[in-house]
Chain A
Amino acid sequence: MERIPILRMGEFLLVTIQVDMHDRLAMRLQDDLTEKIAETGARGVMIDISSLEIVDSFIGRVLANIASMSRVLDAQTVVVGMQPAVAITLVELGLELPGVLTALNVDKGMEVLRGTLAKAVEEQGGDRHPT
């Protein structure tokens, strides 16, 4: 069965989409990621779409679903590397990606994930030791 590999890097999961995904493959990625977050307790998910030549309403919906599903499992999703032509087209298509954090590239995406994680730890600490 064709699958998109999910890599684990410490507390984060990393997915690089390298093919023009048909709809079933995109749905499978959504399911696989959900399972993997639950199984590993990952706190962040980075999806690299720099090889994707289009994002249509279906793939957009899958990305939004992954983001909201990961939030329920206490993980933050960031989508990185969207090509400029894809971004321009998305706006005209009318697709907003609610709740989906984006970053320019993998490095920036890492910063975003580390940042949200650090903030979460801080908030938890604050709860335990109110000042």
Chain B
Amino acid sequence: MIVTRHESLRIQDEDEIVKIRQQARRWAADLGFSLVDQTKMVTAASEIARNTVVYGGGGTVDIEMVQAGDRQGLRLSFVDAGPGISDVELALRDGYTTGSGLGLGLGGARRLVNDFEIDSRPGQGTRVVITRWK
């Protein structure tokens, strides 16, 4: 898999969540994603970005256009150095929240993308990578 375009953004507050939504939209449109596919990717990005701010205490996102064979995709990697998640399976379950949310963000984002990876260690932080292929 090769990366054909790359950009890093900070995610410290909710204005930056909006910026990431806009940037993800722009890149998805540049890749020629259908409107529905754009909307799914942007919504997933919004969910993970908010978790990064609310639970992770802020972090960064790498936005990448990737190519594997003749497939092109958009990959977003969110990283924070927050408290981490002790039980990832539980956190992924719909309805599970330790905050005041609906507990839909992680599970919902996983359904909205093609590839979903999460790597989290208590005390060290969380990394979530989402990819949607054209």
A binds B: yes
Binds A, one of B37-45, B60-68, B78-86, B123-131: B37-45
Any A CB within 8 A of the CB of B17? yes
Any B CB within 8 A of the CB of A86? yes
Enumerate B66-93 residues with CB–CB distance to A below 8 Å.
none
**Cβ contact within 8 Å between A57 and B101:** yes
Quick one: CB contact mask for B100-126 with A, threshold 8 Å, 1 for yes?
A: 011011011101100000000000000
B6 to chain A, nearest CB (A): 24
**Cβ contact within 8 Å between B40 and A92:** yes
Give the CA-CA distance A85 to B43 in the complex, in Å. 11
**Cβ contact within 8 Å between B17 and A22:** yes
For A86, what are the chain B residues with a Cβ–Cβ distance below 8 Å? Answer: 39
B13 to chain A, nearest CB (A): 9
Knowing A56-B50, A93-B111, the reply to whether A20 touches B104 (Cβ < 8 A) is no
Any A CB within 8 A of the CB of B1? no
Q: Which residue of B lies closest to A95 (CB)?
A: B104
For B111, what are the chain A residues with a Cβ–Cβ distance below 8 Å? Answer: 92-94
Knowing A57-B104, A58-B50, A89-B112, the reply to whether A94 touches B21 (Cβ < 8 A) is no
Q: Which residue of B lies closest to A20 (CB)?
A: B18
Quick one: CB contact mask for A2-44 with B, threshold 8 Å, 1 for yes?
A: 0000000000000000001011100000000000000000000
For B105, what are the chain A residues with a Cβ–Cβ distance below 8 Å? Answer: 56-57
- Which of the listed residues A60, A83, A84, A94 has the most CB atoms from chain B within 10 Å of its own CB? A94
For B14, what are the chain A residues with a Cβ–Cβ distance below 8 Å? Answer: 22-24
For A55, what are the chain B residues with a Cβ–Cβ distance below 8 Å? Answer: 43
For B46, what are the chain A residues with a Cβ–Cβ distance below 8 Å? Answer: 54, 56, 58
For A85, what are the chain B residues with a Cβ–Cβ distance below 8 Å? Answer: 35-36, 38-39
**Cβ contact within 8 Å between A53 and B39:** yes
Give the CA-CA distance A95 to B103 in the complex, in Å. 10
**Cβ contact within 8 Å between A57 and B36:** no
Q: Which residue of A lies closest to B107 (CB)?
A: A94
**Cβ contact within 8 Å between B47 and A57:** yes
Q: Which residue of B lies closest to A91 (CB)?
A: B111
Knowing A22-B17, A94-B108, the reply to whether A89 touches B50 (Cβ < 8 A) is no
**Cβ contact within 8 Å between B107 and A89:** no
B133 to chain A, nearest CB (A): 16
